[in-house]
Amino acid sequence: MLVIVAPGQGAQTPGFLTPWLEDPVFAARIGWLSTVAGLDLAHYGTEADADTIRDTKIAQPLLVATGLVAALELFPHPIDAFERVGALAGHSVGELAAAAGARTITAEQAMVLVRERGKAMAEAAAVTPTGMTAILGGDRAEVLAALAEHGLTPANDNGPGQIVAAGTMEQLAALAAAPPAKARLMPLTVAGAFHTSHMQPAVGHVARLAQSVSVHDPRIPLISNKDGHVIHDGREVLKRIVGQIASPVRWDLCLDTMTDLGVTGILEMPPAGTLTGIAKRALKGVETFALKTPDQLDDARAFCDKHGEGSLMNTTPTWRMVVSPAKGTFHLDGAAADADVLEPGTTIGDIASLRDRIVITAAHGGEVVEWLVEDGDLVSPGQPLLRLHPVGSYS
């Protein structure tokens, strides 16, 4: 199985777009997305210095645009991706690129959202001096206890041995003065305490805009960085994209889901390196490919051919599918089992996992065509549970 991932803020480096823009098609597409974003992304990706592209309102649109255009270089026709990619995931702002890749939102919608997200987060960050520090190593329980002691948020949980703390500069200074045992602290070059309550004003702004965004259910399973669940409802994807602005990124749970899915290869979109580095440490035996420059495209396509097998969501002929968001035991709701037609939002059952119990609903409703699981069945992330056909006003 092939999983494609998109990096978050901090992955950008000065000049990283230079070799890509030698391709006139790539350059033209960046020009178009620059118009949508209201920024000269070609300039920022080639000539701007590190301090300039560290600016949240520049870095975020630059990263999302790069991922979107590079995806078209890798998969010139969407069907190529649908037939190869088993799942998509994005770290922080990378989730917008992943959502567009899954066809939940358009590239233009993604660019408007990331433009406003970046501006709003920059404004929120300017209210109070805040920052983020990576904590490498140490005992996980001790690290989390130290963060709680200093009032810090574990804003990014990136897997074994890497948690990113976020909060005020005073809180981070106190942590640096008394770090957890056997842990190394590395301040990050970001402009604020992202994915914490400090970003709550930005959530409201983006949420208001999102009310006017039309969505589609993902064509490729999307692994949410909120909790690692596989999401197959477009409205839920958008809701999570908005909410994650002020909520921690649980990349560790995304990695767990990739394991449950049976991932064999992970390809990271440019500017690549961060997420494949994490995967190499956390997912032993899984091959990785960091797509950094266009001269790697042929090798990247070969990597996709080697690991790609598409997904059940693409190969199963159906109007609408309800899928499992996580690994666990499925418990069927008795009323849903006896129904021929389900109203939108009807509970069809729940999935009990080692972490939690997740209620499953038929978000759009419809006529029951076929149950694909039985009560008590073990299910995996992204596994189809129920096939529905839209009826009446539900369609």
Same domain, 284 and 170: no
Q: Find, among 359, 337, 342, the residue nearest to 394 by Cα.
A: 342
Same domain, 80 and 145: no
Same domain, 119 and 235: yes
Q: What is the pLDDT of residues 325-357, one digit of tens each?
A: 999 999 999 999 999 999 999 999 999 988 889
225-245 average pLDDT score? 95
- Model confidence at 369, pLDDT cuts 50, 70, 90, reads very high
Q: Which residue has the higher pLDDT, 317 or 381?
A: 381
60 vs 218: CA distance, rounded Å: 22
Domain boundary among 294, 313, 332: 313
Q: What is the pLDDT of residues 155-213, one digit of tens each?
A: 999 988 999 999 999 999 999 999 999 999 999 878 899 999 999 999 999 999 999 99
| Sheet strands side by side (includes 320-323) | 320-323, 384-389, 366-371, 341-342
Strand partners, 287: 265
Q: b/e map of 240-261 (b: 16 or more CB within 10 Å)? A: bbbebbbbbbbbbbbbbbbebb
77-91 average pLDDT score? 90
- Structural domains counted in the chain: 3
Residue 195 catalytic? yes
Domain boundary among 151, 167, 187: 187
Q: What is the pLDDT of residues 248-286, one digit of tens each?
A: 999 999 999 999 999 999 999 999 999 999 999 999 999
Would you state the pLDDT for residue 191? 80
Would you state the pLDDT for residue 309? 83
- Model confidence at 307, pLDDT cuts 50, 70, 90, reads very high
Q: Is residue 238 part of a domain?
A: yes
Same domain, 234 and 291: yes
Helix axes 107-127, 24-37, angle to 10 degrees: 50
Same domain, 135 and 202: no
Domain boundary among 187, 212, 238: 187
Q: How many CB atoms neighbour CB 318 within 10 A?
A: 15
> Of 34, 91, 150, 195, which residue is the catalytic one?
195
The pLDDT of residue 313 is above 90: no
Percent of the chain whose predicted confidence (pLDDT) is above 90: 88
Contact status, residue 276 vs residue 290, Cβ threshold 8 Å = yes
pTM: 0.89
> Of 34, 92, 311, 324, which residue is the catalytic one?
92
Name the least confident of 91-95, 292-296, 365-369.
365-369
Contact status, residue 65 vs residue 73, Cβ threshold 8 Å = no
Same domain, 202 and 85: yes
Same domain, 114 and 221: yes
Q: Is residue 257 part of a domain?
A: yes
Query: Which of 11-15, 79-83, 363-367 is the most confident on average?
Result: 11-15
Same domain, 241 and 261: yes
Token couple for 158: 């990136």
Residue 92 catalytic? yes
Same domain, 117 and 240: yes
Same domain, 135 and 205: no
Q: Which long-range contacts (CB under 8 A, 24 or more apart) does 282-285 make?
A: 282/159, 282/160, 282/252, 282/255, 283/255, 283/258, 283/259
230 vs 239: CA distance, rounded Å: 14
The pLDDT of residue 311 is above 80: no
Q: Is residue 337 part of a domain?
A: yes
Amino acid at 208: R
What's the count of helices (H) and strands (E) in the chain, helices before strands? 16, 19
The pLDDT of residue 312 is above 90: no
Average pLDDT score over the chain: 93
The pLDDT of residue 43 is above 90: yes
CATH of the domain at 169: 3.30.70.250
Same domain, 208 and 301: yes
CATH of the domain at 334: 2.40.50.100
- Model confidence at 321, pLDDT cuts 50, 70, 90, reads confident
Would you state the pLDDT for residue 310? 67
The pLDDT of residue 150 is above 80: yes
The pLDDT of residue 61 is above 50: yes
Would you state the pLDDT for residue 389? 87
Query: Which of 30-44, 185-199, 360-374 is the most confident on average?
Result: 30-44
136-153 average pLDDT score? 96
91 vs 94: CA distance, rounded Å: 5
The DSSP letter of residue 290 is E
The DSSP letter of residue 282 is H
Q: Which domain holds residue 142?
A: 127-187
Same domain, 102 and 225: yes
Q: Is residue 192 part of a domain?
A: no
